[in-house]
Amino acid sequence: MHIAVVVKQVPDLVEELEVDAAGTGLDRAWVKMKLNEFDDHALEQAVLLKEAGGAQVSVVALDGEGIDQVLYAAVARGADRALKVDAGTQEPLDSRRAATALAGAIRDLGPDLVLTGVQAADDLFGQMAPFLAAELGWPHVSVVSQVEVAGAAVRVQQEYAGGRMATLEVDLPAVIGVQAAPQPPRYVPVSRLRQAMASGALETATAGAGAGTGGAAVTQLAKPEAGRGAEMLTGSPDQVAEKIEALLRERGLLRG
Amino acid sequence: MGNVLVYVENSETGVAPIAFELLGAARRLAAGLGGEVEALVAAGATAELAPALGAADVILRMEHPALSPYLPEAHVAALTEAIRSRDPQVVLVGNTSAGIDVAAGAAAATQRPLVAYCTGLAVDGEAVVAHSQVYGGKLVATTRTEGPGVFTVVAGAFPGAEGQSGGKAAEATLAAPATLGSLHTRFIAATAPSGGIDIGRADRLVSVGRGIGGPENLELAQELAAALGAELGASRPVVDSGWLPKARQVGKSGMTVKPKLYVAVGISGAPEHLEGMREAELILAVNSDANAPIFEVAHFGSTCDLFDLLPALTERLQAS
Ligand SMILES: Cc1cc2nc3c(=O)[nH]c(=O)nc-3n(C[C@H](O)[C@H](O)[C@H](O)COP(=O)(O)OP(=O)(O)OC[C@H]3O[C@@H](n4cnc5c(N)ncnc54)[C@H](O)[C@@H]3O)c2cc1C
């Protein structure tokens, strides 16, 4: 079993996000990037499968600022190989162009299973997993919270609204959009990370030509319109607590 | 003249609520484009589903055993077939679990652009202008799509009422694509919600998010919940981390709740969380980030550190 995990970085949403001068993109000068949390779960799921039944895990990413560190961290977490795909730009590609750019390298890598995050904070033009599946001509399931190997197939748990779930069986090769691994992504000790960096084993590949989304263009990126937001309660924690108590009392929402 | 095609999500419990929201949005778009609303209902049997879809002008019925229960591969093929044969200008799909599979798959197969996470859609000349929630709801992207496109729409963004009304639509049968006979995906079993507590019935909820830091701090929220006579809810990461059971998860892939009081503690307010609680009667949010999207839907908010505010509030409520 050979599993490829496709990862990327996204802006850390806990930080302030600023829009660029053109008003259509992020001001990237100040954004703090981090591994997409759903990709993090995809990697964890791959490592769990490796531990459960033996598998080779390759982590794959488009080249870009800071990506080496992400790939080394994945190796430290248990990936056997790390592949950096050069799309001729350091700028982030939209998910559809990224899928086209990655498809060739993934086909050459020849995995049985591709795992990637179900979505990313910036995939305005659609989710990566189904696009990649379409490029490869492989079956696909997204919003998956568990993957198990079942012969030449995988059994996955797909989640729906209201807590409903279904178990589906998908023939390999397949692409799965991971929502959550059965356990939280593990912590990597710094010593392991140093070891991975010292081994320096990043492989490289060149991307296929990425077709654009075509037809749809961003005309504005902005903060949501203010005004319909919350009334803010200010003051010290004690003062705020007092205000909350008062408003709950007013509405008859205090206990008993 | 452009038509609007709505993908009607359905399950053994019938037409999904999101389908009516899409039909309502489709009616307005079709009026702007001078076209008609077509509704694709693809299932093992469609006779019982079609009558609910009177808000459409034309109901396209596609039947095949592989279409129920839901299989991503089958429904991508069904929507792809419908787009190819009807050539609509606009395709609307819910941004639900199934929608994530189906919209991108069909957009790729028909080489149409996809605009995801839409909360607003309007016609401008020949183009469709969409507003989408991105970056966890912290920013809104406006896009312009000239020509055909696929749009996934966030649940709750459009009222369902408009899509529920309507007279009798014309009906047409669409042949199921041959590929449905040779799928690489099989349905094994369905799992119902895990049982135990039903937070959907609680009239007060205190929900905790990742801001709570770790399971050792849950006690703070439990004490507040007890003082309020509330049940404990959670955002998805808290459940994925194993700090609270899945039955307590609020949101897109958890429970939809509508309590009298919803206290969100250390929850950023990602669109997937808001989907499950925005209808609560009174929403109170505690989040140290003044720009957190939770404050968009909350009625009252505080940027106090939750580790300071929760004990203070609990103490006050216990005393009162
Ligand atoms: C298909 C799909 C389905 C999903 N379904 C759901 C779902 O059902 N439910 C759900 O919740 N999510 C769901 N998600 C996940 C969702 O996208 C977000 O990742 C999630 O809601 C974020 O949870 P959070 O707000 O707890 O964490 P974060 O976004 O990390 O937010 C934590 C917040 O805590 C605040 N904070 C930190 N420390 C403190 C402090 N000391 N005092 C006060 N505030 C503090 C921070 O400012 C931050 O805003 C789904 C995602 C996908 C892709």
Whole-prediction pTM: 0.96
| Rg of the Cα atoms in chain B | 22
B83 Cα–ligand 1 center, Å:
36
Write the CA distances from B19 to A186, B37, B38, B65, B293, integer angstroms: 39, 13, 12, 21, 26
Give the pLDDT of residue A63.
94
**Tell me, what DSSP letter sits at residue A87?**
-
Sequence-distant (6+) residues with CB within 8 A of A200 are none
What is the ipTM score, two decimals? 0.95
Pick the residue from chain B with its C-alpha nearest to A118. B100
**What's B124-180 look like in SS3?**
ECCEEEEEEEEHHHCEEEEEEECCCEEEEECCCCCCCHHHHCCCCCEEEECCCCHHH
Q: Most B CBs within 10 Å: which of A27, A41, A232, A245, as the mutation test of the B interface?
A: A232
Q: Which residue has the higher pLDDT, B177 or A229?
A: B177
Q: Which of B54, B118, B57, B128 is nearest to B89 (CA)?
A: B128
**The domain B194-319: what is its CATH number?**
3.40.50.1220
Q: Which of A206, A252, A175 is nearest to A102 (CA)?
A: A206
- Which amino acid is residue B20, in one-letter code? F
pLDDT by residue, tens only, chain B of 320 residues: 699 999 999 999 999 999 999 999 999 999 999 999 999 999 999 999 999 999 999 999 999 999 999 999 999 999 999 999 999 999 999 999 989 999 999 999 999 999 999 999 999 999 999 999 999 999 999 999 999 999 999 999 999 988 998 788 999 999 999 999 999 999 999 987 666 788 999 999 999 999 999 999 999 999 999 999 999 999 999 999 999 999 999 999 999 999 999 999 999 999 999 999 999 999 999 999 999 999 999 999 999 999 999 999 999 999 98
Give the pLDDT of residue B1.
63
Is residue A116 within 8 A of residue A83, CB to CB? The reply is no
- What's the fold here for domain B4-182? Rossmann fold (3.40.50)
Is residue A141 within 8 A of residue A170, CB to CB? The reply is yes
In the three-class reduction of DSSP (H, G, I as helix; E, B as strand; rest coil), residue A91 is classed as: coil
In the three-class reduction of DSSP (H, G, I as helix; E, B as strand; rest coil), residue A254 is classed as: coil
Q: Which of B118, B122, B144 is nearest to B131 (CA)?
A: B118
Chain A contacts of B308, Cβ < 8 Å? 237
**The domain A2-206: what is its CATH number?**
3.40.50.620
Query: What is the helix (H) or strand (E) element at residue A170, kind and residue range?
Result: strand A165-171
Pick the residue from chain A with its C-alpha nearest to B226. A255
Give A213's pLDDT tier (boundaries 50, 70, 90).
low
Chain-centroid distance of CA B103 in Å reads: 14
Q: How far is A86 from chain B (nearest CA, A)?
A: 23
Q: How far is B170 from chain A (nearest CA, A)?
A: 30
Q: Where in chain B is the domain with CATH 3.40.50.620?
A: 4-182
Q: Most A CBs within 10 Å: which of B15, B253, B318, as the mutation test of the A interface?
A: B253
Sequence-distant (6+) residues with CB within 8 A of B228 are A248, A253, A254, A255, B204, B206, B261, B263, B317
Give the pLDDT of residue A212.
60
Q: Is the CB of B270 inside a 6 Å radius of any atom of ligand 1?
A: yes
β partners of residue B185: A170
Give the pLDDT of residue A211.
62
Q: Most A CBs within 10 Å: which of B302, B307, B308, B310, as the mutation test of the A interface?
A: B302
- Token pair, residue B240, equals 């994925």
Which residue is associated with the tokens 């709950």?
A: A248
Give the pLDDT of residue A89.
84
**For chain B, what is the total number of helices (H) and then of strands (E)?**
9, 17
| Selected residues 186-225 of chain B with any CB under 8 Å from a CB in chain A | 186-194, 204
Give the pLDDT of residue A23.
95
B304 Cα–ligand 1 center, Å:
17
Cis before B311 (ω within 30):
no
Give the pLDDT of residue B171.
96
| Selected residues 93-122 of chain B with any CB under 8 Å from a CB in chain A | 96-98, 100-101, 103-105, 107-109, 111-117
Beta strands across the sheet bearing A202-206: A202-206, A81-86, A56-62, A2-6, A113-117, A174-178, A140-150, A153-159, A165-171, B185-191
In the three-class reduction of DSSP (H, G, I as helix; E, B as strand; rest coil), residue A163 is classed as: helix
Give residue limits of the domains in chain A: 2-206
Q: Is the CB of A119 inside a 6 Å radius of any atom of ligand 1?
A: yes
Q: Is the CB of B160 inside a 6 Å radius of any atom of ligand 1?
A: no
Residue in B116, B141, B261 closest to A221 by CB: B141
Write the CA distances from B218 to A180, A183, B31, B119, B203, integer angstroms: 21, 19, 51, 34, 20
β partners of residue A121: none
Which residue is associated with the tokens 């954004």?
A: A31
Ligand 1 pocket, mutate which of A179, A232, A233, A240 (most atoms under 8 A from CB): A179
B138 Cα–ligand 1 center, Å:
12
Give the pLDDT of residue A214.
73
Chain A contacts of B315, Cβ < 8 Å? 241
How many C-beta atoms lie closer than 10 Å to residue B309's C-beta? Answer: 24
**Tell me, what DSSP letter sits at residue A116?**
E
Q: How far is A236 from chain B (nearest CA, A)?
A: 8
- Average pLDDT estimate for A86-95: 87
Q: Which residue has the higher pLDDT, A252 or A225?
A: A252
Pick the residue from chain A with its C-alpha nearest to B228. A255
Q: Is the CB of B3 inside a 6 Å radius of any atom of ligand 1?
A: no
Q: Which atom of ligand 1 lies nearest, measured to the CA of B254?
A: 8
In the three-class reduction of DSSP (H, G, I as helix; E, B as strand; rest coil), residue A37 is classed as: helix
Q: How far is A74 from chain B (nearest CA, A)?
A: 20
Give the pLDDT of residue A92.
85
